[in-house]
Structure 1
Amino acid sequence: MTHRSAALASVTLTAAHEAKPFAEIVRNFTPNWFTVTMGTGALALTLNQFPLPFPGMHRLASGLWMANIVLFVTFSLLYAARWVFFLDGARRIFHHPVMSMFFGAIPMGLATIVNGFLAFDPPLIGSAAVPIAAALWWVDAAMSVVCGLAVPYFMFTRQEHSIEKLTAVWLLPIVAAEVAAASGGLLAPHLAPDAAFTVLLLGYALWAYSVPLAMSILVLLVLRLALHKLPERDLGASAWLALGPIGTGALGLVLLGGDAPSVFAARSGSLATVGDVAFGLGVVGGTALWGYGLWWMALAVLKTVRYLREGLPFNLGWWGFTFPLAVYTLATLALARVTGFAVFTVAGLCLAVCLAVFWSIVATFTLRGAWHRTLFVAPCLKMGRPVVRFEADAV
């Protein structure tokens, strides 16, 4: 009986040991994992627009996009489970000055899926692709608006921030709205005239909801870099995040401007002439932002080289290499189609290749870290319980 009891206890402990890691994964699952879906979905959309004809490229991009859907659904279930089973730890994210910024990654990851329904026209879905994309776009736009206001409100009321600790991570909740705007630019041509007009106008509103505020944060970022130099190595990849609002802003102007002539022409009255103005604004404004992005991209390259020399530890922040570069690449390719300027075509080709290389490297490290379960870390769990502090303040 003694040996049998010992064996039974050993089996029980082994089962508990095997079950605990998955529970810890759920407990430590944070929204920065959605940056994986941002980068993967954006790569799929970029490969689908690759300037040179390669056999099987569309199929590869489509497969990558479908894999991205699986990732997004999986991450959504894991994060929802954290809120169900580990509520106390999950709600601490609202007080964390860095991790809370990654709420913006959720709608931005969803936007890549919305765009894929329009770009790949899945044969198993057929004519339902556009209605699905339209429904998801409204969800994405609503999430982006809430995220773009709620997270800054938490910054102003619950979190501790300073210029010295400012990084480009601040941009994540803000940029979500302009990503939704660019997605609306892709959606509008597939809709009926009235619905297209609504999405187009809301797209411009979402663009304005995000871009001016994002540009003001970039000004603060330059000040922070001049006064306090580069951030610590763990945040080294955040250097590329500054390229995100610039690339997405340019892409949004080009796509919305390209829709405007036909959408406004379908309206009665003097609005028909507005479309040509919007088209011109898209070309000129998109090109201007593209030039502005060149400076930030060159700066990001210089900073990354320096970090690599000092030793750049891998973390999920490395996905910051992918999505910003992807939207800048998509903006470059969009400008190439509109203007026919060869420089944009060549630049888009080179950027797409770099993006694929970066994604391959980051995805490899991520798979390795996920397999060994070293990437499932929730920094907000190291914080004290906010409710205790509030009670003390009330006393």
Structure 2
Amino acid sequence: MTTPCASAHPEGLAGVVRGFTPNWFAATMGTGILALLLPHVPVPGAALLGEGLWWMNMAVFAVFTGLSVARLALYPHESRATLVHPVQSMFLGALPMGLATLINGLIVYGVPRWGAGAAWLARDLWAFDALLSVLVGLLVPYVMFTRQDHALERMTGVWLLPVVASEVAAASAGLIAPHLSEHAAAPLVYAGYVLFALSVPLALMLIAVLILRLAQHGLPTPDLAVSMFLPLGPLATGALALLQLGDAAPRVLAAQGLGALAPTLTGMGLVGGLVLWGFGGWWLALATMTTLHVLRRGLPFNLGWWGLTFPLGVYAAATFSLGALTHLNVFSTLGHVLVTALTALWTLVTVRTVRGACSGHLFAAALLPREQGLPATVPGPLPHAS
């Protein structure tokens, strides 16, 4: 038996499995971050809607994981082609980042409903997610250097996806730690700063190279135009990680007799968070202007459009965290504006994704160059549908 969407594909469910690629997990990232932000909105029922989205996202993540495992088992050739593909392989970072939004939901929604047990479950799942983030952040660049063919003029923001997963895990550590005992929270706080170090410096280096690429070779092609928003992700998540770790660290340090260091980490969270948040605001404005510039020439829909949602969402989360720390209403007001924009974008991209999936276009267009008889190192576009 096949679903209506699967039956729309010329090859049925087999075609859906064969054409399923890691960039689908970007949908769980965008949906997950919206679910986590809705409780900040002062609208009746917003938190309940957010919890519903969180449950829905868990179901979607489970389906996507099942499709990935099925593709790996049934179509090993296509799976290997994904690993060496210079664009699709970058989206392997979306797996741990999508999972992180589910883990964070255990804190936002699970703890109020089920108590401390939800926090301990989040801690255990976080350990797996952190390990997966580190592996992706190391192995994908290794494959880039040894098996793929890249050039400066073909570089886009998708290069950031494998390395940014570690700082997403760092931010999750800062969110989970306050709900654990001091002894259990300590490994998360210390690991959080290490994960930050494994991601943010690399992301800043890549952003510097990306600016050089944009200055020398201009904007990406229209099918990759929305990738301009991706650098906002590591900037916003880096700010969020510093703020949340800075909030969680004092209790841990005090329990270890290191309480004198607590103001340093809290201050580092505020200053570092503000610096990265400010840089993120500049990039958000730049990405918006360049995307509108490309929009005049036509902006084809593809799964890369989900790259609009998660970066904007974590920037909103960092904005709310700054508001909570500084008690400045401007951050809270701006956060509400960002969540409103995110909700509109999520609705648009979700509708277009469901339409493209049910028509079969998003799966049929996902064939990688190697699957089409071309060299695996030829950079192909993201799957797209008209």
Common fold by TM > 0.5: yes
How has the CA–CA distance of structure 1 residues 159 and 279 changed in structure 2, closer, same or farther, with 3 Å as cutoff?
same
1:230 to 219, 226, 244: 219
Is contact 1:94-1:158 (8 Å) kept?
Answer: no
**Per the alignment, in what secondary structure is the counterpart of residue 86 of structure 2?**
coil
Going from structure 1 to structure 2, the CA distance change for 1:188 and 1:126 (only over 3 Å counts) comes to closer
Structure 2 residue aligned with 1:314, among 293, 301, 306? 301
> Measured at CA, do residues 137 and 17 of structure 1 come closer, stay the same or move farther in structure 2, by a change above 3 Å?
closer
1:299 has 2:290 as partner = no
| 1:245-291 deviations in Å (ceiling 9; x for gaps) | 000000000000011111111112xx211111000110111011111
The counterpart of 2:120, out of the listed 118, 128, 131, is 131
Q: Sequence identity, in percent?
A: 49
Is 1:267 equivalent to 2:259 in the alignment? no
Report deviation, 1:101: 0.1
Alignment-derived partner of residue 392 in structure 1 = none
1:94 corresponds to 2:83:
yes
The answer for unaligned runs of 5 or more in structure 2 is 1-6, 377-386
Query: Residues 214-225 of structure 1 correspond to what in structure 2 (within 5 A)?
Result: 214-225=203-214
Do the aligned partners of 1:148 and 1:176 also contact (CA within 8 Å) in 2?
yes
Partner residue in 2 for 1:43: 34
State the partner residue of 1:84.
73
| Deviations, residues 123-153 of structure 1 (Å, cap 9, x unaligned) | 7755431122111101100000000000000
Higher relative contact order (CA 8 A, sep 6+): 2
The aligned counterpart of 1:192 is 181
Report the counterpart of residue 342 of structure 2 in structure 1.
355
Match among 29, 33, 58 for residue 24 of structure 2:
33
Select between 376-385 and 366-375 the one with higher mean Cα deviation.
Answer: 376-385
Contact in 2 for aligned 1:92/1:385 (Cα 8 Å): no
Tell me the matched-pair count: 367
Alignment root-mean-square deviation, CA: 1.6
- Separation in 2 of the partners of 1:69 and 1:248? 22
8 Å CA contact 1:182, 1:251 repeated in 2? yes
- Provide the rounded CA distance (Å) in 1 between the counterparts of 2:170 and 2:373: 35
Q: Which has the larger radius of gyration?
A: 1
Q: Residues 330-362 of structure 1: CA distance to partner in whole angstroms, max 9, x if unpaired?
A: 000000001011221121111111111110100
In structure 2, give the amino acid aligned to 1:253.
Answer: L
State the AA in 1 paired with 2:49: L
Q: Once structures 1 and 2 are overlaid, which stretch shifts more, 310-319 or 187-196?
A: 187-196
Residues 316 and 335, structure 2, Cα contact 8 Å, conserved in 1: yes
Q: Is the 8 A contact 1:92 1:383 kept in 2?
A: no
User: Is 1:290 paired with 2:277?
Assistant: yes
1:389 alignment partner in structure 2: none
Match of 2:372 among 369, 373, 382: 382
Question: Normalising by the residue count of structure 1, what TM-score does the alignment of the two structures yield?
Answer: 0.90
The C-alpha deviation readout for 1:28-59, integer Å capped at 9, x for no partner, is: 11010000000000001111222xx2111110
1:330 maps to: 317
Going from structure 1 to structure 2, the CA distance change for 1:124 and 1:305 (only over 3 Å counts) comes to same
Q: Are 2:53 and 1:61 equivalent residues in the alignment?
A: no
Deviations 1:56-88 (A, max 9, x none): 111000000100000000000001000001111
- Superposed CA offset, 1:177-214 (max 9, x none): 00000000001111121221110000000001000000
On the 8 A contact 1:144/1:176 being kept in 2, the answer is: yes
Residue aligning to 2:354: 367
Contact kept in structure 1, 2:116 and 2:179, CA below 8 Å: no
Q: Which moved more, 1:282-291 or 1:18-27?
A: 18-27
8 Å CA contact 2:243, 2:269 repeated in 1: yes
> What amino acid sits opposite 2:203 in the alignment?
A
SS at match of 1:160: coil
Tell me how far apart the structure 2 counterparts of residues 222 and 166 of structure 1 sit (CA, whole Å): 10
Superposition deviation, residue 20 in structure 1 = 2.9
